[in-house]
Amino acid sequence: MIGAGGEISISPASPMWMDIQIVSPNGTSVELPLKQGYFEARVPNALMESVESSGSFEINWIDFYR
Residue at 40 is within a domain = yes
The structural domain count of the chain equals: 1
Structural domain range at position 39: 2-50
Residue at 24 is within a domain = yes
Residue at 56 is within a domain = no
What pTM did the predictor assign?
Answer: 0.60
Residue at 44 is within a domain = yes
Residue at 57 is within a domain = no
Would you list the DSSP string of 12-32?
Answer: TTSTTPPEEEEE-TTS----S
Residue at 66 is within a domain = no
What are residue 55's phi and psi, to 5 degrees? 80, 5
Could you read off the pLDDT of 3-61 as tens digits, one per residue? 667 787 889 999 989 888 888 888 777 888 888 888 888 889 888 888 877 778 788 77
Q: What is the pLDDT of residue 64?
A: 66
